[in-house]
Amino acid sequence: MRKIFFPIIALLACMFISCSEDIDYTLDNDCIITSFSLGQVKRTMHTLDEDGNDSTYIINYAGTICPMTIDQINNKIYNKDSLPYGSDPSSILATISSVGSVAYCKAGEPIPEWKIYSSSDSIDFSQPLTFRVMSSDGKAYREYEMKLNVHKQEGEEFVWHKMDGTAPFEDMNQTKALFWKDQIFVLGRKLGVTYASFWNGQEWTQTETDGCELAEIRSLTSIGQKLYLNTSSGHILTSEDGIHWTANQSNQTIDHLITYGEGKLFALANESIVYSTDGGQSWNPDLIDSNPGLLPTQDVAGIYYTLQNGNGQLVMVGNRAPEDYSQDTTALVWSKLFLAQDPENYPWMYYTANGGHPYTCPNLENLTLIRYNNSIIALGGTPVNGQFRLAYDRLYISEDNGITWKQDDEIVMPYAIQGTSQCVAAAVDSDHFLWLICGSAVWKGRLNELGFEK
């Protein structure tokens, strides 16, 4: 450590010695900050008044919700989790434990103005500070670079951005998007021709496909580096590049692929659910807990994900033909659970939609499911039973694995998409951006907190 005669500390030491001349003391040169925590922090909150105008109010919260990290090797003090948006760092009390006396100044000052630390005096943390610990013998010190991180955006705010340029999906009558091979991939059909489109980070490239003229675009799913879908004739097609497709030899006619999960490819077939462990060549019947007449026959969408407890979850939604079930006003929702510590094959469960359940998923055309921020989002066109509602007018979010579906105040459909006659495809990339692809326009949005640096 560097040695210095620190005037303030030396003065305190002289006063202490002069008052205790008859006692012998041994002073050492240890100097270290052992703990650092924040007291109450003021935060400005935004809300709407009764007239719909923005208004603000101030709350206080404990700064200990964002613990401070002391890096003793690199002599840095900082908070890994930033203070919430709207926090005022200019006047906060701090509790510091140390071996030695502590003073601080603004970092980088040519002529530093040192202030003695006191737990009863607030500190301005709005810019980086230097904290210096002086040893009790006044001959050595240690300095820490201190920075208090504060979020510059509201974490719970979701922001959409319309991407520049024109997208090549105008007038397509079927589309499906996936985040595949670290890029957004879209399969779509227009005028009887199926196209594969890729976003390379700068622009869209689009190529006419080969071998999937009869493809049911909405059945598109991925298993690692390969893509799968079924045809209108019940065959399974596979592709390694999204452009060239080949048919699998199969013992089963498939009505609609659901999704892939737990090493199995799941599908609807002959009023049942079946699964394949060999990429769609052979199929086995799966268990269901309800009448197979409650299985969807159109607008089918499925999703698989891993829960925070390590269990796996499959959710499927879809509709029945309106000419046969005109009374249906909600989508049919099924779920399958995979326990991490239990190899038993549990049956698919049907989520009953009755009149007393106010938060159901409506039976929309072209239903799409995506997994976002530990929730499921459903979107779709107009209801299949002819009820009036604008196509793609809202997003339905389920936080309980498909049981209830509610609108969210933060994640809402971009206004320009609401009521569109174009197909809408959706996908989520590895940076937590939600993509909505609609005709010649593409929208990209993210919940701010998912983009914060950790």
pLDDT for 417-429, tens place per residue? 999 999 999 999 9
Above 80 in pLDDT, residue 375?
yes
**Rounded percentage of the chain residues whose pLDDT exceeds 70:** 90
Region 263-292 average pLDDT: 96
Give the residue carrying structure tokens 């994640």. 411
d(CA 260, CA 232): 20
Which pLDDT band holds residue 48 (cuts at 50, 70, 90)? low
More confident: 56 or 105: 105
Residue 314, C-beta contacts closer than 8 angstroms, at least 6 positions apart: 258, 259, 261, 262, 266, 302, 303, 304, 335, 336, 337, 338, 348
Please state, in angstroms and rounded to a whole number, the distance separating the CA atoms of residues 94 and 120. 8
Average pLDDT over residues 315-335: 94
Class of residue 327 by CB neighbours under 10 A (exposed 0-12, middle 13-18, buried 19+):
exposed
Q: Greater confidence, 41 or 151? A: 41
Q: Give the pLDDT of residue 339.
A: 95
Which range has the worst mean pLDDT, 151-160, 339-348, 406-415? 151-160
Lowest-confidence region among 235-244, 250-259, 329-338, 379-388: 379-388
Q: Which helix (H) or strand (E) holds 198?
A: strand 193-199
DSSP 17: H
Interior CA angle at 129 toward 62 and 60, to 5°? 15
User: CB burial class (10 A; 0-12, 13-18, 19+) of residue 244?
Assistant: middle
Residue range 209-235, pLDDT digits in tens: 999 999 999 999 999 999 999 999 999
pLDDT of 189 > 60? The answer is yes
- In the chain, % of residues over pLDDT 90: 75
For the chain, domains (ranges, CATH) are: 7-147 (2.60.40.2340), 158-451 (2.120.10.10)
Is the pLDDT at 6 greater than 60, yes or no? Answer: no
> Which pLDDT belongs to residue 388?
84
Q: What are phi and psi of 77, to 5 degrees?
A: -130, 130
Residue 5: pLDDT above 70? Answer: no
- Region 3-25: mean pLDDT is 43
Q: What is the pLDDT of residue 55?
A: 73
Which segments of 256-403 are extended strands (E)?
Answer: 256-261, 264-268, 273-276, 284-285, 298-306, 312-319, 332-338, 349-351, 368-372, 375-379, 396-398
- Is the entire prediction scored with pTM above 0.95? no
